[in-house]
Amino acid sequence: MSNANCSLRILCIHGYRQNSTSFQKKTGALRKQLKKQVELVYIDAPHKVPTSDESQLQEKPADVNGDQRGWWFSDYQNCSFDARQECESSLGLEQSLEAVRMAVKNLGPFDGILGFSQGAALAAMLCSLQEQKLEPTFNFRFAILVAGFRSACAQHQYLYKGVNVMVPSLHVYGKDDKVIPEQMSQDLLPLFQGAHVLNHQGGHFVPAASAHKHIYQEFLTSFQ
């Protein structure tokens, strides 16, 4: 599945109120560390976030070049998202699944998937759909989930209950994350069999210090 130079191709799923360009910048240090191992391919979420949305999962507008985007909304009426908001049904997830299908079709194949925050929650959903054989398009060999969490939407619970995802996974979360507290990321671990963990001291970001480099590299080496 990998290309000729043995580089792993990874589909990158940005966080809420980010876009592919801003996420590419925020993962610059990681991309530099892993450039001999991976090729990172970034896509945009299909939904523009209304500028009035001041939910907790926000990036400062100055951090985002272009539209602020999201993968689904927990609040139908206001088109906003909060990871803690319990809701019966969400808005926009089907369009996001289609966006990933098209990315796999047009930009793939991909060896793995990397998601951040809401993007990591989506990546976990994709792995569950793949495990349940509900999405023949997806064939990810591994997942890296940074500040991931379980959706609190009742409509999405079939993706978690009674599912054992066999896709190898690396779960990355920070002890000082105020947006997605580490307990929320830890709640995602039971979904994945044999999950690997990188628990760093920082907050809501993709860690790429030299101390973390070998953990990413060791995880990825087994797929080359």
**198 part of a folded domain:** yes
- In the chain, what percentage of residues exceed pLDDT 70? 91
**112 part of a folded domain:** yes
Q: What is the CATH number of the domain that holds 199?
A: 3.40.50.1820
Predicted confidence at residue 89, as pLDDT, reads 84
> What would the pLDDT profile of 7-61 be if each residue is shown by its tens digit?
899 999 999 999 999 999 999 999 999 988 999 999 999 999 987 645 544 444 4
> Which of these is catalytic: 171, 200, 204, 212?
204
Strand ordering across the sheet containing 196-200: 38-43, 8-13, 112-116, 142-146, 169-174, 196-200
CA 137, 218, 179, 156 dihedral sign is positive
Q: What is the mean pLDDT of residues 172-186?
A: 96
Does 117 qualify as catalytic in the annotation? yes
**168 part of a folded domain:** yes
Contact 155, 74 (CB under 8 A): no
CA 189, 192, 196, 202 dihedral sign is negative
If pLDDT is split at 50, 70 and 90, which confidence band does 214 have? very high
Does 55 qualify as catalytic in the annotation? no
Contact 105, 138 (CB under 8 A): no
Characterise 91 by phi-psi region: left (phi > 0), alpha (psi -120 to 50), beta (else): beta
> What would the pLDDT profile of 145-165 be if each residue is shown by its tens digit?
999 999 999 999 999 999 999
Domain that holds residue 56: 8-221
Predicted confidence at residue 32, as pLDDT, reads 92
**3 part of a folded domain:** no
**pLDDT for residue 1 is more than 60:** no
Predicted confidence at residue 60, as pLDDT, reads 45
Average confidence score pLDDT of the chain: 90
What tokens were used for 133? 């054989």
If pLDDT is split at 50, 70 and 90, which confidence band does 166 have? very high
**179 part of a folded domain:** yes
**35 part of a folded domain:** yes
Does 177 qualify as catalytic in the annotation? yes
Predicted confidence at residue 88, as pLDDT, reads 86
Backbone phi and psi for residue 9, each to the nearest 5 degrees, phi listed first? -100, 125
> Which of these is catalytic: 22, 55, 117, 128?
117
**2 part of a folded domain:** no
> Which of these is catalytic: 74, 177, 185, 200?
177
If pLDDT is split at 50, 70 and 90, which confidence band does 113 have? very high
**pLDDT for residue 3 is more than 70:** no
Predicted confidence at residue 51, as pLDDT, reads 78
Query: How many domains does one find in the chain?
Result: 1
**1 part of a folded domain:** no
